[in-house]
């Protein structure tokens, strides 16, 4: 005899019923007197009552649980709970109990309350009680919501910033303490209703910046719940000028990787990245977010690329193509290295700006690239192309790349979209579609529509471009701070617009060479150009002239803008050995190509890397061309 799985189960049930019948014959007795009923005749129904209108318990809060018991013997239930050391039960009766959450706990925990029939201990009913820890969150009213961790902010000297704290699960009048670090010399905090900052019920305070600062000064504001050590904090950087809600601090500080000094890299800190959309039903409405430091600001690329290792709590949803396959993205660096990983949507917050589906609906989330240290499947050969995969912080020297150059997505150039099929039918090596098992080396690229392409975050913030402002550096400095401003209205008096050609380049004339493929790139470590200056023995990517060498070049926009740049080149080996640990070098330069580019016919390039930005205000305007309508000022341009 053979059973199918269903038939076998039915057979087993039949055997259990037979055994129950036999047991009843032995134990149930008969005749007169009370009849003790066993089994299905007992039912229990549990109903919780939470304080107020909450649906979960905060620290020390209690819920009452009522048991409605159908039991012919009228004996009710006994109570237990799990996890057994998380909180306590009190006032148990045969039909009710009170559960009290622990006075303090670090993470949301679901407690199971068990009611066991006294008449028949085999009848157990359970109910789950969610508990939520005290959470403290901060916001700047008018520009952010306390439901999202507050990004770093900037203001100007003499300015003020209103700050609001939201304490969840802290009771009706939660008590908190506000602190400022450093406590003196960097402005002051005052509760909006007056009184103390310590053990106060004031959830609104005002930060007043110093009347004057000689250089950018950063303070940290922290609000700590008095009932626990839970706190929230954010940084405010006070600038002599140029701060604001659309302004973020950038730091040439050696980068985020311990033990590594990234030279001439400008990093943005305090970028808040969240899983997009609304949180799961039933959860307190905090999206899952992480604040990331050490993202390289790069005007030589377009789009936010983030290492998964920098957002371990997030699982950003990958974009998929029409077949349901994961849309993978490839970023090829000019030096042959690459970044590989899925295009995914994220909510992104910088300063007072957001690209947030949580606030503005699903279409407001921004496509980003997520790079994992563990490759799923393989990388297509046409992406890896013989180069190195920079999928760790150590190799990238950063936790991500903020590509804020003059194009809206990573597949556009002067109004032409190369990846959506509008300009060409053959997909370039940028997007791939692969099953969840990953890609294979032989896989070919696919087309990707505009809305799925990794997008310039400035564009996602509805800004027309960015302005980068870094202080002058005299030779070498350990670190410098500047600003990244999203969006601008015109350029300052004295700044000149340099229009770009169809390749987003302009021309630099240097030493008799017409370098027609020149560009400004905050992501390059130095100025790179063809010259006969000797290269270094140790740091062979840089020049090592015998002494500081003064040079000059002329930048010429495609249709407008011309200006002479004086710059100096120093001996990189000496610079590095005499300034160990320093991050900012204004006289760092290196070779790009060799020999003469006098004819200008070839790929002759002056790469104006980060040293160009020192002591300048550099505007990057994003290309707004369409394939049909494009003029030099519609296209991307630089101004400085």
Q: By C-beta, is 91 or 538 nearer to other proteins?
A: 538
Based on CB atoms, which residue is closest to other proteins, 156 or 505? 505
Q: CA-CA distance, 65 to 622, in Å (whole number)?
A: 60
Contact 604, 528 (CB under 8 A): no
Q: How far is the CB of 266 from other proteins (least distance, A)?
A: 12
Quote the least distance from Cβ 471 to other proteins, whole Å.
Answer: 21
Check whether the bond before 182 is cis (ω within 30° of 0): yes
Give the closest residue to 398 by CA, choosing from 211, 517, 499, 268: 268
In the block, residue with structure tokens 């998380």: 86
Closest CB 597 distance from other proteins, rounded Å: 7
> Closest distance between other proteins and the C-beta of residue 381, in Å?
7
Euclidean distance between CA atoms 520 and 266, whole angstroms: 14
Q: How far is the CB of 458 from other proteins (least distance, A)?
A: 14
Nearest to 448 by CA among 300, 337, 316, 342: 342
- The contacts of residue 323 (CB under 8 Å, 6+ apart) are 433
φ and ψ of 83, to 5 deg = -70, 140
Nearest to 531 by CA among 579, 583, 598: 598
For residue 451, give the 3-state DSSP assignment.
helix
Quick one: CA torsion of 47, 53, 59, 62, rounded to 10 degrees? -40
Residue 391 CB, nearest approach to other proteins (Å)? 12
SS3 181: strand
Give whole-number Cα distances, 583 to 286, 394, 473, in Å: 37, 16, 11
Q: Order the strands of the 188-191 sheet from edge to edge.
A: 135-139, 160-168, 204-208, 188-191
State in angstroms the smallest separation of the CB of 620 from other proteins.
12
Count CB atoms within 10 A of the CB of residue 135. 20
Nearer to other proteins, 271 or 604 (CB): 604
Nearer of residues 349 and 418 to other proteins, judged by Cβ: 418
Please report how close the Cβ of residue 296 comes to other proteins at its closest, in angstroms. Answer: 8
Question: Among residues 524 and 571, whose Cβ is nearest to other proteins?
Answer: 524
Which of 87, 445 has the CB closer to other proteins?
Answer: 445
Give the residue with the Cβ less far from other proteins, 123 or 396.
396
Nearer to other proteins, 86 or 333 (CB): 333
């Amino acid at each position: 005899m053979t059973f199918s799985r269903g038939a076998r189960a039915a057979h087993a049930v039949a055997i259990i019923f037979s055994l129950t019948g036999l047991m009843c014959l032995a134990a149930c007795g008969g005749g007169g007197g009370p009849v003790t009923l066993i089994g299905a005749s007992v039912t229990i129904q549990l109903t919780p009552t939470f304080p107020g209108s909450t649906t979960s318990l905060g620290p020390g809060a209690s819920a009452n649980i009522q048991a409605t018991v159908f039991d012919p013997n009228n004996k009710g239930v006994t109570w237990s709970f799990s996890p057994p050391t998380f909180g306590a039960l009190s006032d148990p009766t045969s039909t009710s109990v009170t559960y009290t959450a622990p006075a303090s706990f670090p993470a949301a925990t679901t407690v199971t309350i068990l009611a066991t029939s006294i008449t028949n201990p085999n009848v157990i009913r359970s109910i789950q009680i969610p508990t939520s820890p005290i959470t403290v969150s901060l916001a700047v009213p008018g520009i952010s919501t306390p439901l999202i961790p507050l990004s770093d902010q900037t203001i100007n000297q003499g300015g003020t910033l209103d700050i609001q704290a939201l304490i969840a699960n802290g009771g009706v009048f939660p008590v908190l303490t506000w602190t400022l670090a450093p406590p003196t010399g960097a402005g002051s905090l005052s509760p909006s209703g007056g009184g103390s900052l310590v053990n106060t019920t004031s959830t609104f305070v005002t930060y007043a910046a110093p009347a004057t600062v000689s250089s950018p000064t950063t303070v940290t504001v922290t609000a700590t719940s008095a009932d626990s050590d839970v706190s929230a904090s954010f940084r405010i950087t006070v600038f002599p000028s140029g701060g604001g809600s659309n302004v973020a601090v950038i730091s040439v500080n050696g980068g985020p990787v311990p033990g590594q000094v990234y030279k001439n890299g400008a990093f943005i800190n305090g970028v808040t990245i969240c899983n997009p959309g609304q949180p799961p039903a039933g959860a307190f409405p905090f999206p899952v977010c992480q604040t990331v430091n050490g993202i390289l600001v790069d005007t030589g690329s377009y789009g936010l690329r983030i290492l998964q290792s920098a957002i371990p709590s997030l699982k950003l949803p990958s974009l998929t193509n029409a077949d349901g396959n994961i849309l993978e993205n490839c970023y090829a660096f000019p030096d042959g290295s690459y970044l590989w990983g899925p295009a995914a949507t994220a909510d992104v917050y910088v300063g007072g700006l957001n690209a947030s589906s949580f606030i503005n609906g699903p279409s407001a989330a921004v496509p980003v690239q997520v790079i994992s240290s563990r490759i799923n499947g393989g990388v297509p050969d046409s992406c890896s192309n013989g180069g190195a995969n920079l999928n760790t912080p150590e190799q990238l020297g950063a936790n991500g790349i903020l590509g804020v150059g003059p194009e809206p997505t990573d597949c556009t150039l002067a109004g032409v979209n190369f990846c959506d099929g509008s300009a060409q039918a053959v997909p370039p090596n940028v997007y791939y579609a692969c099953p969840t098992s990953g890609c294979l080396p032989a896989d070919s690229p696919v087309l990707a529509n505009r809305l799925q392409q990794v997008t310039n975050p400035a564009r996602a913030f509805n800004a027309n471009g960015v302005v980068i402002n870094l202080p002058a550096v005299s030779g070498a400095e350990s670190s410098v701070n500047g600003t990244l401003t999203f969006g601008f209205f015109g350029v300052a008096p004295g700044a000149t617009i340099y229009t770009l050609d169809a390749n987003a380049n302009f021309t630099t004339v240097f030493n008799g060479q017409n370098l027609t493929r020149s560009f400004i790139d905050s992501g390059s470590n130095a100025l790179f150009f063809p010259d006969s200056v000797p290269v270094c023995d140790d740091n062979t990517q840089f020049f090592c002239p015998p002494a500081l060498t003064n040079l000059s070049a002329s930048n010429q926009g495609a249709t407008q803008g011309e200006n002479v740049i004086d710059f100096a080149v120093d001996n990189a080996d000496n610079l590095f050995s005499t300034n160990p640990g320093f991050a900012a070098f204004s006289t760092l330069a290196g070779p790009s190509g060799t020999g003469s580019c006098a004819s200008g016919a070839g790929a002759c390039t002056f790469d104006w890397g980060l040293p160009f930005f020192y002591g300048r205000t550099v505007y990057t305007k994003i290309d707004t061309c369409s394939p049909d309508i494009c003029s030099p000022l519609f296209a991307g341009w630089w101004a400085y």
